[in-house]
Chains A and B, each alone.
Chain A
Amino acid sequence: MTTPLLSVKNLTVDFHTQEGVTRAVNNISFDIPAGKTVGIVGESGSGKSVTSLAVMGLLQKPAGKVESGQILFNGNDLLLNNEDQMRKIRGNEISMIFQEPMTSLNPVFKVGAQIAEVLTIHKNMNKKQAWDRAVDLMNQVGIPSPAQSAHKYPHEMSGGQKQRVMIAMAIANEPKLLIADEPTTALDVTIQKQVIELMMNLQQQYKMSMMFITHDLGVIGDLADDVVVMYRSNIVEQNHVKSIYEGAKHPYTKGLLACRPNLGANPRRLLTVSDFMNEEGKELVVPAERLTVYDKELIPSHQGEGTLLEIKNLTTNFPIKGGLFGRTIDHVHAVNDVSFKIQKGKTFGLVGESGCGKTTLGRTILRLIEPSAGNIIYNGQDITNIYGEELRLLRRKMQIIFQDPYSSLNPRMTVGEILAEPLIIHGIGNSKAARLDMAKELMDKVGLKVMHLNRYPHEFSGGQRQRICIARALMLRPEFVVCDESVSALDVSIQAQVLNLLLDLQDEFKLTYIFISHDLSVVNFISDEVAVMYGGKIVEMGAASKIYQNPSMEYTKSLLSAIPKGQPKHF
């Protein structure tokens, strides 16, 4: 057997902070053979990114420290290299792509110059040669009209294009190993598919090895040869991708595979990691009724009971200001002549790529953004033009759960204060104690510990914060809730728990949802009816099962085909 390109042996990394020592990576070993792709899968905080940073020699100093182990690259231990030697390797023999294309490019330089810079540093090219090579690379990564695009600045490109530029930079020096840290997590599903296909082609063309880090086992199926599953700083399972998909051994891996909703029928509630193992990591037997898939239309509780919300020809424009005095010179039609009805107690899914107007539509319905034309009829009442006290009273009925659990909670308020605030605004509850009792009741319902009432948001994880947001939205006992990408920022394993929670709460409180997402499989799982949005218009609408089985529009078909199938690439 030939020696692998990269071999991590018994690696242990600790982080030394003022609060004490945290073990980020605990005695892990894995190999990346030449020309192969290894996927590293795990939830946030499992140590997968720390592992990649250790390989690059980019651990945050002095906090992060390799306690023991070896990282052999071509037989040489990278941990013994000094900073100068590492700099020659980084960007040259090992290069890296980061998660966030929006912040990984320098906004004041042309993208062509940023790619050329990598070449002038490591390959001693002159400016002209480097620029020509940069244009050539941009062509290879599929950026349209590369000679012109090289003169663009990062803000003139879309997220997918920026990620392509990052890939061009990473492969510029034909590295032997490419480390990709969640390169597609920030992208829409169609763009994600294109980027993954691009990376597979480039890997074969350049005969690179690849370390692909993700929280989503579904993404890796198309791409990886081997999979390493990390959980709480340890490797719990590693195997060929085929063996993992067909017969995962560790309960955590089984949970990860099961928690992603698929496009066909799903169980009533998604399986989560906690169905497969308990807190101590002991394997559990999943009860048979949890595995039964069901047909949504046969569930009596999901039969509609009349129309709750009707949208008629709704249009929302944003003015484009220009000229010397900031006059309005034109309008963007963010939402353009949209009409639909939502039945009581049902979930209406809105899917589309970023910029299609789905978020604007959700906020216009709640009157957080003013509509330009059309009508919003809620429970028989036209709410398009109500203001003041009437609108404030309506807010009790209609609520929203935002996407980003980090920015949607005020960092200076405790959970108790956050949950009590809607009650104070609407004069519910006689005393502080009474309001806190109501807050405690909902905390319990959304699966938070009541004793955490006096904690601040920064002390919670992303999933817990989203539960706080859900509790806040439900404090006023609304009838109607807009979930705006409410699970998109969460790891798949947490996403399943939150989706289950939303369904439980829908049953308990008889809620009607608009569920906005770019993730078609999530929308399929949770929605009764689905509308596909493109360019501010609804292009296709109907029962979820119908749209997914027989899409009539080309756009819907392309969205559906972009979903990672979660299948290994060869059987």
Chain B
Amino acid sequence: MANLSPTVPASAQFVLPKRPNPILHFVRAQPMGAVSFIIIIIMMFAGLFPQFVAPYNPLDIDFASILAAPSWDHWFGTDAYGRDIFSRIIYGSRTALVIGFASSALGSSIGAVLGIASAYFGGRIDNWIQRFMDILLAFPIIVLALVVVAALRKTVIYGVDVNLIIAIAIPIVPRVARVVRAAALSVNVMPYIDAARAAGYSDARIIFRHMAPNVTAPFLIMFTAFIAQAILLEASLSFLGLGVTEPIAAWGLMLSGNAADFYREAPWMVIFPGVAISLAVFAFNLFGDSLRDYLDPRFKT
């Protein structure tokens, strides 16, 4: 009769399977995501230390070289005031990133709190929150942002237009709330939540310690995707003259005003800032997509 008792030779060494380096694993699984992440890192560096990257001061007016074509001196040419377009794009990345991150963080966080609260409390609270979100969802993103802009005007603190950030954050709230609520609903029926309730933990503790960590994946995915949306929205609002205002370097602003007067003479004034917007939005979109595929294969589309 075979010996069925599990015996292990005393000399055997247990080698724990090596946990794959999460970064390396991500790069291997999502090469496109890795590429987009590199673009984001480069943008962040440019935004954090523009003075090391940009060859000129973005505000320096040089009447000797107005509307200069791209050359070794001015890689992307100059605008109607002789300002170096490459330098303005580098400084513009700071504006785009600050507003993109801040408004997406604000909007996604409020959305996540509302979504979790909606799922956790259910019943009447859920109903009220959802009806309110329905109202906000009845607006196209930019229309809602413009209404907030019209309502709040400008409030600049430390050179950042706070109301612009709020205006961009508000349309994000209902969209994140809906997704996070769906995820939180499936967490809410888990036995460990029942256990926590039975143990008599407070609502706040259950929400923050037990539910929030389990909806991090959809939250992070939405947060990244909405950075892209926020950058796009900031560019659109600035283009309309209702966002960032002169003389701050911002991509949308560079396309507005007199850029249109020089379609023929200086097409570079139009081309390069738009490439910058598209590249930034592209990178965050792609990174968000890869993150989604990586973190939660169920969301794959």
Partners in one complex: no
> Hey, which bits of chain A sit against chain B, CB under 8 A?
none
> Hey, which bits of chain B sit against chain A, CB under 8 A?
none
